[in-house]
Amino acid sequence: MTAKTLAVFRKEITDTLRDGRTIFAIFVFPFLLYPAMLTLMSWIESKNDEDAKLLAVRVGIVGEAEVPGLREWIAAVPGATPVALDRAPETLQDAKVDAAFVVPSGVEGAIARGDSVVVELLYKDADNTSSAAAQRVRPILDDIERSLTLSWARANGAKAEASAPIRVSRHDISSKTDKGRFFAALLIPYLLVFMVAAGAMQTAVDATTGEKERSTLETLLSTAASRGELVMGKALAVLATSITGAVTGITGLWLTFNVVARAVPGMEEGSLQIAITPDKAVLLFLTLLPTAVFLSAVLVAIGCFARSMREGQTYASYVYMGSVFLGLGSFGQQAPSMRQFMIPILNTALLQREILTDTVVPLHAVTAIGVTAAIAVLMLVVATRLFSNEAVLFRT
């Protein structure tokens, strides 16, 4: 880095720090957004649970006589009213019920013959009332299964008056640390990409198109610094801003789940142990760096090409949306293909998830970093060429 490049870098950082909107977005907004999101989500979930418990639901029964006691089981559920139906409804709305049990006819005979018997619970997951009704009466399926098992045992000569006291229990033994590790591996790679793109936008456009509108670009071009040094200084300033935004964003997320969620009454269940060891933090930073350089160079190139701040911000928003889209591609990827590690931004998110889950494949790491670094260098060259072409730089 030459002295002239460093001087341009200092100038752009100083200009950035004078912009109150950028300071708020980088250093304040992350510490307000995530606690507010967690509080709102916890309140909504709590409110929905309370409303679901008070909701009156109608549960249809087809083949009520086939399972003795089915009506009583449903009636025992708070707020549930059993409704006898002649046949399985085509739609729950037409039958005026929120959910329905469908028991096939001739159950005892089928069980005695050893035939398969299927009892269905019909509901609409897309309907809040129907989904809540199904959630409340779903345990009755276990009662039906025990009743039919008892019938099968009797049909095979067993002297059984009641079902055996067998109980199946499901218990999640994941610690908050385990859940925090899973949550971090799922969300942090996407958030890092998202925050780098968001943090780079304003500074990149202001450092290029903003200079044009303020008529200060001509003065900057008249200095002894070469076009390459000017571009490198601006790109480094954008890079520093984007990396800072990513770091403060992740810090805000960590404080939300590790501090705020524990301190606020009623939100303890939402707390997670999100812990990133120093070695993983270093690896995350190193893998993020080529992507941050790539995005910074793209946005600087766009700023050189754009004729106005509005046009520059429009183009930058497309880059931002593309970054978000590619980052979202890392969700749900259980076994990503090698080709996915050749796609910029997506490969970084996938590699960072491997780092957080201790499943790094060396070939994936080399491919992701190599491809992104090569494209980042290419975009820096493109940005320098655009900045050197005054027909493009001052086009109207």
Per-residue pLDDT tens over the stretch 55-79: 788 999 988 888 888 889 988 888 8
Domain assignment of residue 341, given as a range: 3-41+175-393
Of the three residues 120, 155, 190, the one that is the final residue of a domain is 155
Asked if pLDDT for residue 20 goes beyond 60, the answer is yes
Query: In this structure, how many other beta carbons lie within 10 angstroms of the beta carbon of residue 113?
Result: 9
Whether residue 73 is found in the same domain as residue 124: yes
Average pLDDT over residues 103-122: 82
Residue with tokens 């800072």: 244
Asked if pLDDT for residue 161 goes beyond 60, the answer is yes
pLDDT at 365: 92
pLDDT at 68: 84
244-284 pLDDT per residue, tens: 888 887 777 777 766 766 665 555 555 555 666 778 878 88
Number of domains in the chain: 2
Whether residue 72 is found in the same domain as residue 211: no
In a domain, residue 74? The reply is yes
Whether residue 282 is found in the same domain as residue 146: no
Please state, rounded to an integer, the average pLDDT across all residues of the chain.
80
350 and 336 Cβ atoms separated by less than 8 Å: yes
pLDDT at 372: 92
CA atoms of 394 and 396, how far apart (whole Å): 6
Of the three residues 126, 155, 184, the one that is the final residue of a domain is 155
What CATH number is associated with residue 108?
3.40.190
Per-residue confidence at 393, pLDDT binned at 50, 70, 90?
Answer: confident
Cβ-Cβ contacts under 8 Å for 65 (sequence gap 6 or more) = none
Per-residue confidence at 354, pLDDT binned at 50, 70, 90?
Answer: confident
Whether residue 307 is found in the same domain as residue 282: yes
**pTM of the predicted structure, to 2 decimals:** 0.67
Of 273, 259, 284, the residue nearest 188 (C-alpha): 284
pLDDT at 363: 93
Residue type, 250: I
Of the three residues 155, 184, 203, the one that is the final residue of a domain is 155
- Of 33-42, 50-59, 242-251, 338-347, the one with minimum mean pLDDT is 33-42
In a domain, residue 164? The reply is no
pLDDT at 199: 79
pLDDT at 168: 58
Whether residue 109 is found in the same domain as residue 224: no
Highest mean pLDDT of the ranges 6-10, 36-40, 356-360, 368-372 = 368-372
pLDDT at 230: 86
In a domain, residue 107? The reply is yes
Asked if pLDDT for residue 368 goes beyond 90, the answer is yes
Residue with tokens 């060891």: 277
pLDDT at 395: 66
